[in-house]
Amino acid sequence: MTNITSNIKKLAEESPKKAAIITKNQTLNYKEWSTLLCKTANWFDSVSLSNKIVGFLLPNGIPFLQLFTGASMAGWTAVPYDLKWKADELKKRIEISPPSVVITVKEYYDQIARLHPFVLIWEDAFENIGGQSPTYYIDSESNLPFYMGFTSGTTGSPKAFIRSHKSWAASFNINYHDFKMNEKENVLIPGALIHSHFLYGAVSTLCTGGTVHLLDKFSAAQALLCIEERPITAIYTVPTMVSAILKEKRIIEKPIKIISSGAKWDETSKLEISKVFPSLSMIEFYGASELSYVTFLADEQKAGSVGKPCHGVEIEIRGTSGEHLAPYEIGKIYVRSDLIFDGYLLNDTIHSIQDKNGWATVDDMGYVDDEGYLYISGREKNMILYGAINIFPEEIEKVISLHPAVEEAAVIGMEDPYWGQIAVAIIKGKTDALELKRLCKNHLASYKVPRKWIFTEEMPYTAGGKIARAKLKESIERKVISH
C-alpha cells in the first residue's frame, strides 16, 4: 500500500456498519465513509485543473476530514489553512502553496475571495459531490504528494513542506509496532485538525480501521465526558491539554492510552495525570514536521529523555566536522527513515533536506546514552556561546517554567564584551528575579543561570503559536540600546 486510502474500501466491505467517525451530532459507518470518499475523489477528477493542489479553510468536523482524505484518494495535494490566521498570514501561505482552488464555508467566503481567484463554497461543493459515482479506482502504487503543511520556525517566516503517501503509510507501522494500536481502537481527537498531530491521529485511525471521536473544539470537560461515556481507548493530546485536564480534578478508572506530542511532557505532570487515569498508558514521542516520528517513550521512567528510535528509524549524533559522536557527547541529531518528508516547496520546486545517503537534520542538538535513549539539548540556532561554553536556552526555560507563577519563559543570548554572549531570561508572570535565580541555582550549573531578567506582559509569537525568538531578541536589544 502506498496511497494511504487504499485500505478503506476493504474496511467498508469487511465491517460496513462499524462506526468510522462520531461527532456530537453525526455518526458515519465505514460503508458511508468509503462511499463519501469515493464520491469526493470522483468530484476532484471532474474538476479539470492541471495543478492538483486544493486549499481549504474549514472548521473541525467531518467536511475537513472528507476533503483531506478524498483529495488524497484522488491524487491531489491537500493544503489546510488555519481559521486563526490573519489576512496577511493567510495571503502569504496561499502565495507559497499555490492552490488551483480554495474551498471554504459561507462564513469565510468574503475573507478568502479577496486572496484567490477561484474560491468554492463548501455547501455548493458538497451538493455536487453528492451526484458523483460511489465507486472509485485508487492508484494504490503511485507515491504522489498528498499533504502540504507549514512550518514557521523562530523567525515567523512560513515555509511550505510536502509529504507523499509513503511517509504516512510508513507512520501507520509505528502505530502498530510502537504504540500497540490496532483496528479496535476508539480514538478521541480533541484538538484542531489544522495541527498535523491531530490530523494524523484522525486520518491514520480511519485508514487502519479504528473509530474516530471528534470534538468541534478542545474542552477538558468535554474530553473527559467523552472518555467516560464512550468506549474511548486512546486520546491524542499536547501537554497544555493535559494541564487543562488536570484542573478538572477528576478520576477515571477505565484503561486509556495518551499519545502526546508538542513540548516535552514534564515529569510532575506525568505523575499527576496518572492519578486522574490510574489505568493509564503514556506514549510520548519526539518528532518534527520534516522528520515525522523520531523517538518514543511508552510508560518508561527515563527522566529528561525523549525515548528510543521508533520502528524503522535510525539516529546518528554528529560533531561539527560530521564525525559520529560517542554516547553522552552533544552534537547535531541526524535521522534516516521512510517517514521523512519530500522537502520544502520553493518556487514550484521541492527541495529535499536529505543527503545522498538519506540522512536529514532539523538542527536539533542532543546526545544518546549507552542504552540508545535520546536527550534533546536544544536547537543549534538558539545556542548561546558563553565564553567557550555552549548553553541551550531550552534547558533553562524548562527549569524556569517549574515556578507556578511563570506563564511563559524565553531565554535568549545577548552580546557581551567579556563573555561573548550572556543568557537573558524574558518572563511572563507574576514573580521576581530573585525567586527565579534561586530556582535555577537549585537545578542548573551556575554558568547556566541567566545574567539578566526581563519581565513582560506579552510575548511575540510565530504563526505556529511558538515564541518568535528573533523578534523577541530584536525588541529586547532595542530597549537595552535606548536605555
Identify the domain boundary among 374, 406, 430: 374
Which secondary structure element, helix H or strand E, spans residue 429, and what is its range?
A: strand 420-429
- 3-class DSSP state of 464: coil
Same domain, 420 and 289: no
pLDDT in tens, 367-401: 999 999 999 887 767 878 776 677 878 889 988 99
Lowest mean pLDDT among 185-189, 264-268, 360-364: 264-268
pLDDT of residue 481 exceeding 70, the answer is no
Residue 66 is assigned to a structural domain of this protein:
yes
Same domain, 334 and 245: yes
Same domain, 53 and 120: yes
Residue 2 is assigned to a structural domain of this protein:
no
The CA distance from 360 to 290, in Å, is 9
Residue 85 is assigned to a structural domain of this protein:
yes
Same domain, 342 and 407: no
For 72, the domain range is: 8-374
Residue 255 is assigned to a structural domain of this protein:
yes
Residue 3 is assigned to a structural domain of this protein:
no
Same domain, 122 and 179: yes
Residue 91 is assigned to a structural domain of this protein:
yes
Ramachandran category for residue 299: left, alpha or beta (phi over 0 → left; psi -120 to 50 → alpha): left
Same domain, 343 and 447: no
Q: Are 43 and 51 in contact (CB under 8 A)?
A: no
Signed CA dihedral, 387, 436, 303, 296: sign only: negative
The CA distance from 376 to 366, in Å, is 4
Same domain, 36 and 119: yes
Predicted model pTM: 0.82
pLDDT of 483:
39
Other CB atoms closer than 10 Å to residue 215's CB: what's the count?
Answer: 19
pLDDT of 152:
59
pLDDT in tens, 116-174: 999 999 999 999 999 999 999 987 677 789 999 987 544 446 789 999 999 999 999 99
Identify the domain boundary among 337, 357, 374: 374
Please choose, from the candidates 208, 43, 190, the residue with its C-alpha nearest in 3D space to the C-alpha of residue 126. Answer: 43
Identify the domain boundary among 345, 374, 403: 374
Please choose, from the candidates 363, 351, 364, the residue with its C-alpha nearest in 3D space to the C-alpha of residue 159. Answer: 351
Same domain, 335 and 388: no
pLDDT of residue 482 exceeding 50, the answer is no
Residue 29 is assigned to a structural domain of this protein:
yes
Same domain, 89 and 160: yes
Mean pLDDT of 196-201: 93
C-alpha grid cell for residue 329?
A: 557527547
In CATH, what number is assigned to the domain containing residue 465? 3.30.300.30
Same domain, 358 and 475: no
pLDDT of 479:
66
pLDDT of 263:
56
Please choose, from the candidates 200, 247, 206, 245, the residue with its C-alpha nearest in 3D space to the C-alpha of residue 227. Answer: 245
The domain total for the chain is: 2
Residue 145 is assigned to a structural domain of this protein:
yes
Same domain, 25 and 110: yes
Same domain, 332 and 401: no
Counting Cα atoms < 13 Å in the Cβ hemisphere of 405 gives 9
In CATH, what number is assigned to the domain containing residue 351? 3.40.50.12780
| More confident position, 400 or 415 | 400
Whole-number percent of the chain with pLDDT over 70: 95
Please choose, from the candidates 441, 440, 457, 455, the residue with its C-alpha nearest in 3D space to the C-alpha of residue 397. Answer: 440
Mean pLDDT of 314-335: 95
C-alpha grid cell for residue 55?
A: 486549499
The CA distance from 168 to 260, in Å, is 18
